[in-house]
C-alpha cells in the first residue's frame, strides 16, 4: 500500500483546499521544493503534485514550482502530476522533464478521444483522476457535476489503457472525515487496473482499513491534510501499512 504525499500548488505555494474550494485554502509552505525534500526524508515512495491554478485555467500554471520539486527529487522516487493537462504536447513536456505519471481529469471526461490518444502515445504513464460527489463525476476543478457514473467511466478508460485510476470523494477532501472505503472498494472491484484512494484521509485507522481491502485492487492512498496537520505520521503509517500487507 503506497502512501503518497500530496503537494497541491496554488500561486507557487503548497496549500490544502477544503472540498476543492480555491477560496478555502490553507498555506502550509511557500517553498514546495523544501516540502518535497521533507516527504522524501519521511520515506515517501511517490509524490502527488496538483497544479490547482492549472486545473481551473485549463493549462499549466505552476511550472516553476514543479520544476523546483523535480530538481529536488532528482529521480529518487516517481512523481505524478495533474491539473490543467489538456493536450499531448503538455504531456510530452512533463514526461521529458521527469514526471513519471501524468494525471488527466477533466479532459478525460470531456474529451475521451484525447485520453485514448494519450494512452496510445504514452502508454504506462497515463493515470485518470475521477473526482466524484454522490457517485457522479465532477469536472473543472470540481466546480461542475456531470451525470456520469464513476464506475461506468472508469471501465471505459480502462479499455483505453490507462495505468490506474485516482478516485477522490470531493465531499470528504480536505475535511479529515475519513476515506470513503465502500465506494473505493466498489470501484476497485469493478476494474482490473489499480485504484488509488483519495479524499478525507483522517489518520492511521483509514490506512489500516485500506490495507484490509487492498486485495480488491487498491494500490495506494493520497495523503493530504492529515500529514500536514500532524494527524498522521507518514513514515510510521507507511511502516504500519508495510507490516499489514507483507
Does residue 137 contact residue 131 with C-beta atoms inside 8 Å?
yes
Rg (CA), the chain: 16
Does residue 199 contact residue 178 with C-beta atoms inside 8 Å?
no
Q: CA 131 to CA 101: how far, in whole Å? A: 18
Nine cell digits for residue 245 = 500487507
DSSP lists the bridge partners of residue 169 as: 132
Q: Strands 2-10 and 13-18, how do they pair?
A: antiparallel
- Other CB atoms closer than 10 Å to residue 192's CB: what's the count? 8
Does residue 80 contact residue 99 with C-beta atoms inside 8 Å?
yes
Cβ neighbors of 28 (< 8 A, separation 6 or more) are: 14, 15, 16, 35, 228
Q: CA 169 to CA 19: how far, in whole Å? A: 9
Task: Please identify every residue annotated as catalytic.
Answer: 8, 131
Q: CA 58 to CA 9: how far, in whole Å? A: 15
The C-alpha angle 50, 165, 77, rounded to 5 degrees, equals 55
Nine cell digits for residue 108 = 478525460
Amino acid at each position: 500500500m503506497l502512501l503518497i504525499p500530496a503537494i497541491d500548488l496554488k500561486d507557487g505555494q503548497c496549500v490544502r483546499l477544503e472540498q476543492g474550494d480555491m477560496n478555502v485554502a490553507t498555506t502550509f509552505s511557500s517553498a514546495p521544493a523544501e516540502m518535497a525534500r521533507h516527504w522524501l526524508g519521511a520515506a515517501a515512495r511517490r509524490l502527488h503534485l496538483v497544479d490547482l491554478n492549472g486545473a481551473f485555467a485549463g493549462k499549466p500554471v505552476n511550472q516553476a514550482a514543479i520544476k523546483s520539486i523535480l530538481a529536488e527529487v532528482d529521480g529518487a522516487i516517481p512523481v505524478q502530476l495533474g491539473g490543467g493537462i489538456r493536450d499531448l504536447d503538455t504531456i510530452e513536456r512533463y514526461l521529458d522533464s521527469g514526471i513519471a505519471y501524468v494525471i488527466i481529469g477533466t479532459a478525460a471526461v470531456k474529451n475521451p478521444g484525447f485520453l485514448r490518444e494519450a494512452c496510445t502515445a504514452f502508454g504506462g504513464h497515463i493515470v485518470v483522476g475521477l473526482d466524484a460527489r454522490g457517485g457522479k463525476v465532477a469536472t473543472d476543478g470540481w466546480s461542475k457535476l456531470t451525470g456520469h457514473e464513476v464506475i461506468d467511466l472508469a471501465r471505459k478508460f480502462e479499455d483505453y489503457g490507462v495505468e490506474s485510476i485516482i478516485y477522490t470523494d470531493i465531499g470528504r477532501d480536505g475535511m479529515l472525515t475519513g476515506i470513503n472505503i465502500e465506494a473505493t472498494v466498489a470501484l476497485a472491484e469493478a476494474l482490473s487496473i489499480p485504484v488509488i484512494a483519495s479524499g478525507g484521509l483522517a489518520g492511521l485507522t483509514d490506512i489500516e482499513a485500506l490495507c484490509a481491502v487492498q486485495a480488491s485492487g487498491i494500490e495506494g492512498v493520497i495523503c493530504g491534510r492529515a500529514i500536514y496537520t500532524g494527524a498522521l505520521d507518514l513514515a510510521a503509517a507507511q511502516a504500519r501499512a508495510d507490516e499489514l500487507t507483507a
